[in-house]
């Protein structure tokens, strides 16, 4: 690890010092494709007073060898990623500025992808989706108004494949460590009669995972039809995936980590997730005249699936009389062995609409979104050591339903006040209704009926004091409702509010780009991760009263020549709960100001990009994440140590004169210095009143998700 830290420090120091001495270039998108109108209402322009990063298909391709999209975004500012199975395939997650994935808004073509009820984003349900991404914009902080659950610290707005003018086909195959394989087929008819295009993709990914038996068996598809004519764009899409993954969210204890960091404590052969998700979208954009255009988006998402568990010596009373007890545990509880499946079956409908007026001095967007979600939760017993007399296989032991509606309207405008000053304003009203019926998996009645009305104003200004340099400042407010699991852990849980203040400077010339941004995010009743997990591996959150995140983000890109570039970034932050109370040894104690969980004070990365030949690229990438706590009490047991990891990526494109238009060969060595590190985990406490009569002792513990040591992926893509 010391080698990686030293190398990272040297690369960062070199790139920053050179950037201060020499002028440099920045990649910029100067033209807007027709397809980009689909995300116009949720994205911002380059000079907007919103902190953001843009990523294109070209930038994703060299490392797109089967790992999930969050892993490909690992080197963006303030980003920390993790993988349950350890190798970036299967269940993966992304935290931005320390903000939980449950508080990050994700949209695909302007349609919310974040799960309406759990507020989670399950990338495993869309395997190889990176192969169908045209571009994305990551907004840090509150950002601009978006559709779906509010962005409470970050948002990722994804645009899928653009329309192709010419027919094409691709065959991609990659192989690597842990028996990883990815096979992808893509095609496009190109424009037919200058109006119609049909394109699609099929993908299959298999991996055993770094963690023992944490396999992933993933399939996905993507199909789109496009019609364009005289200012009209109509696009219909169908995409989805089917995932089977062996459970690895149990993690390891410290002792297990030291004994064998690849072991999996689960032993039942079918301890798996099995889930399907299908998305159907229809978009219609109409350019009315030189100033006016409209956009309409429709969506239907169907999700269904289960995870299966073997339960040894489980409390028989939690299964509604379906099973008979076959023994008694040490506490006198009647127990039995069984296998259960816990199901989700949900339907999600969305309507988005927007009107855009664009003139010389004014860019105005009026929009709205309405969605409705209907989700069933139920459990069934598929085997038991002994069923009750009147029960049988697949009897349900609980059933619950959640219904959620989400209606929002917004008006956002950028006005050019003078030749140097742009003013940005954004007003959003959002109404959310959430109602539940039935039982939880613990056979507890869950009767929630809540309505929230949120007003989210945003205001910013950009001052262009030189042709290649501007400063900006913004204020934004966000409100966000609790998730289903939040209500399960505390029926009286409160919604959270964020006031976000950002000030930044951007410099961009022919060979140098520098962005410096400072932020102060003040929260009221922030729903922070406690570090603990519920019985399905979902993180448990609680309100924290007053808390804040204060940070400085610096990113740069410097081209020494047309062959050699460096791209460093670093974030320094302080993330605090202003006052923390915790029950320790049976007594409530005031711990004062503490660190917010999963919020490292330093996050940094760097890329060396060397192109000795026109079609050959050699990239050396380094990531450093400072120490962080998995709980909010600053206890040593909950601390994750800092780590630095380096990857090496090479990509070569050969363009033969016949049969294929190009052959692209890519290779990726992850964790090239073979570091043994942990990027995620969980922390728990419980009161023990049994060991010593009359005394209460708080027992704490932690679980860890080890990440893969040195591993590789190699791929070849044939383009026709």
Residue 632, by phi and psi: left (phi above 0), alpha (psi -120 to 50) or beta? alpha
For the chain, the residue count is 720
The helix or strand, by DSSP H or E, that contains position 179, with its residue range, turns out to be: none
Mean pLDDT, residues 525-554: 87
154 pLDDT more than 70:
yes
Please give the span between the terminal C-alpha atoms of the chain, in angstroms, as a whole number.
Answer: 43
pLDDT digits (tens, 9 = 90+) for 111-143: 999 999 999 899 999 999 999 999 999 999 998
HSE (side-chain half, CA atoms, 13 Å) at 676: 6
**Residue 56 pLDDT grade (very low, low, confident, very high; cuts 50, 70, 90):** very high
The owner of tokens 């100033």 is 291
HSE (side-chain half, CA atoms, 13 Å) at 650: 9
The owner of tokens 């976000």 is 500
Q: In the prediction, which pLDDT does 33 show?
A: 64
For residues 242 and 700, which has the higher predicted lDDT (pLDDT)? 242
Phi and psi angles of residue 345, each rounded to the nearest 5 degrees, phi first: -145, 105
3 pLDDT more than 60:
no
CA distances 224 to 132, 171, 277, 453, 543, Å, are 10, 18, 17, 36, 42
For residues 151 and 452, which has the higher predicted lDDT (pLDDT)? 452
309 pLDDT more than 90:
yes
**Residue 698 pLDDT grade (very low, low, confident, very high; cuts 50, 70, 90):** confident
Q: In the prediction, which pLDDT does 579 show?
A: 87
The owner of tokens 């009820």 is 117
Q: In the prediction, which pLDDT does 691 show?
A: 62
Strands 334-358 and 292-315: what pairing? antiparallel
Q: In the prediction, which pLDDT does 689 show?
A: 61
Give the lowest-confidence range in 37-46, 82-91, 310-319, 545-554.
37-46
**Residue 619 pLDDT grade (very low, low, confident, very high; cuts 50, 70, 90):** very high
Compute the distance between CA of residue 372 and CA of residue 316 in angstroms, rounded to an integer: 36
Architecture of domain 2-719: Beta Barrel (2.40)
Q: Which two tokens stand for residue 558?
A: 């410097």
Give the lowest-confidence range in 148-152, 341-345, 708-712.
148-152
Q: Which two tokens stand for residue 273?
A: 């997730």
4 pLDDT more than 50:
no
Q: In the prediction, which pLDDT does 531 show?
A: 81
Neighbour tally for 562: CB within 10 Å:
10
CA distances 468 to 155, 513, 524, Å, are 27, 9, 38
Compute the distance between CA of residue 340 and CA of residue 319 in angstroms, rounded to an integer: 10
Neighbour tally for 418: CB within 10 Å:
10
The helix or strand, by DSSP H or E, that contains position 356, with its residue range, turns out to be: strand 334-358
pLDDT digits (tens, 9 = 90+) for 219-229: 999 999 999 98
pLDDT digits (tens, 9 = 90+) for 382-422: 999 999 988 889 999 999 999 999 999 999 999 999 999 99
Q: In the prediction, which pLDDT does 40 show?
A: 83
Compute the distance between CA of residue 64 and CA of residue 129 in angstroms, rounded to an integer: 10
Phi and psi angles of residue 123, each rounded to the nearest 5 degrees, phi first: -65, -25
Q: In the prediction, which pLDDT does 690 show?
A: 62
The helix or strand, by DSSP H or E, that contains position 496, with its residue range, turns out to be: strand 496-508
**Residue 101 pLDDT grade (very low, low, confident, very high; cuts 50, 70, 90):** confident
pLDDT digits (tens, 9 = 90+) for 461-498: 999 989 899 999 999 999 999 999 999 989 999 999 99
How buried is 360 (Cβ within 10 angstroms: 0-12 exposed, 13-18 middle, 19+ buried)?
Answer: exposed
**Residue 14 pLDDT grade (very low, low, confident, very high; cuts 50, 70, 90):** very low
**Residue 28 pLDDT grade (very low, low, confident, very high; cuts 50, 70, 90):** very low
Nearest to 174 by CA among 675, 711, 720: 711
**Residue 442 pLDDT grade (very low, low, confident, very high; cuts 50, 70, 90):** confident
How buried is 218 (Cβ within 10 angstroms: 0-12 exposed, 13-18 middle, 19+ buried)?
Answer: buried
Q: In the prediction, which pLDDT does 694 show?
A: 66
């Amino acid at each position: 690890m010391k080698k990686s830290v030293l190398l990272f420090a040297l690369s960062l120091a070199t790139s920053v010092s050179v950037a201060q001495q020499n002028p440099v270039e920045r990649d910029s998108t100067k033209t807007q494709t027709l397809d980009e109108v689909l995300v116009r209402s949720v994205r911002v322009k380059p000079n907007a007073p919103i902190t953001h990063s843009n990523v294109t298909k070209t930038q994703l391709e060299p490392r797109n060898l089967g790992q999930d999209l969050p892993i490909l975004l690992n080197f963006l500012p303030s980003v920390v990623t993790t993988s349950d199975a350890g190798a970036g395939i299967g269940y993966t997650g992304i935290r931005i500025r320390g903000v939980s994935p449950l508080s990050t808004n994700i949209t695909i073509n302007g349609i919310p992808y974040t799960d309406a009820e759990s507020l989670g984003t399950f990338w495993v349900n869309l395997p190889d989706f990176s192969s169908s991404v045209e571009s994305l914009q990551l907004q840090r902080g509150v950002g601009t108004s978006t559709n779906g659950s509010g962005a409470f610290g970050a948002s990722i707005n994804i645009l899928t494949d653009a329309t192709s003018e010419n027919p094409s086909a691709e065959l991609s195959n990659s192989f690597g460590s842990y028996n990883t394989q990815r096979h992808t087929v893509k095609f496009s008819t190109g424009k037919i009669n200058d109006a119609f295009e049909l394109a699609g993709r099929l993908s299959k990914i298999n991996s055993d995972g770094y963690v023992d038996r944490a396999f992933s068996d993933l399939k996905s598809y993507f199909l789109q039809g496009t019609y364009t004519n005289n200012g009209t764009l109509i696009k219909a899409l169908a995409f989805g995936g089917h995932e089977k993954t062996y459970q690895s969210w149990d993690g390891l204890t410290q002792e297990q980590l030291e004994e064998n960091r690849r072991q999996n404590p689960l032993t039942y052969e079918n301890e798996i997730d099995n889930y399907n998700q299908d998305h159907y979208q229809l978009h219609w954009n109409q350019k009315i005249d030189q100033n006016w255009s409209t956009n309409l988006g429709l969506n239907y998402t169907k999700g269904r699936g289960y995870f299966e568990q073997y339960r040894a010596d489980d409390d028989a009373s939690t299964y509604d009389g379906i099973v008979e007890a076959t023994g008694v545990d040490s506490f006198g509880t009647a127990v039995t062995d069984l296998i259960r499946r816990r199901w989700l079956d949900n339907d999600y409908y969305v309507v988005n609409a927007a009107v855009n007026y664009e003139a010389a001095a004014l860019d105005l967007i009026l929009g709205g979104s309405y969605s409705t979600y209907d989700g069933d939760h139920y459990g069934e017993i598929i085997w038991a050591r002994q069923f009750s007399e009147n029960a049988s296989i697949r009897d349900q032991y609980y059933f619950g339903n959640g219904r959620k509606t989400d209606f929002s309207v917004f008006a956002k405008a950028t006005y050019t006040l003078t030749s140097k000053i742009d003013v940005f304003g954004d007003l959003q009203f959002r109404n959310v209704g959430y109602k539940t019926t039935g039982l939880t998996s613990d056979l507890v009645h869950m009767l929630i009926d809540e309505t929230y009305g949120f007003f989210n104003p945003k205001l910013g200004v950009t001052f262009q004091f030189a042709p290649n340099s501007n400063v900006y400042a913004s204020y934004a407010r966000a409100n966000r409702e609790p998730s289903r699991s939040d209500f399960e852990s505390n029926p009286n849980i409160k919604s959270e509010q964020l006031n976000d203040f950002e000030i930044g400077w951007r410099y961009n010339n022919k060979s140098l780009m520098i962005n410096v941004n400072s932020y102060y995010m003040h929260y009221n009743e922030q729903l922070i991760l406690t570090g603990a997990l519920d019985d399905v591996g979902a993180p448990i959150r609680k309100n924290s009263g007053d808390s804040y995140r204060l940070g400085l983000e610096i990113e740069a890109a410097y081209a020494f020549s047309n062959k050699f570039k460096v791209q460093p970034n670093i974030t320094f932050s302080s993330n605090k709960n202003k006052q923390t109370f915790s029950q320790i040894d049976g007594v409530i104690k005031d711990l004062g100001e503490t660190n917010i969980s999963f919020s490292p004070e330093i996050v940094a990365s760097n890329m060396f990009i060397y192109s000795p030949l026109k079609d050959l690229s050699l990239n050396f990438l380094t990531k450093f994440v400072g120490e962080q706590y998995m709980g909010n009490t600053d206890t040593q047991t909950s601390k994750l140590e800092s780590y630095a990891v380096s990857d090496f990526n090479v990509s070569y494109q050969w363009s033969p004169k016949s049969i294929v238009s190009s052959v692209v060969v890519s290779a990726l060595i992850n964790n090239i210095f073979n570091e043994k590190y942990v990027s995620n985990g969980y922390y728990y406490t419980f009161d023990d009143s049994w060991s010593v009569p009359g005394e209460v002792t708080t027992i704490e513990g932690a679980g860890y998700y080890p990440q893969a040591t040195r591993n590789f992926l190699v791929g070849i893509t044939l383009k026709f």
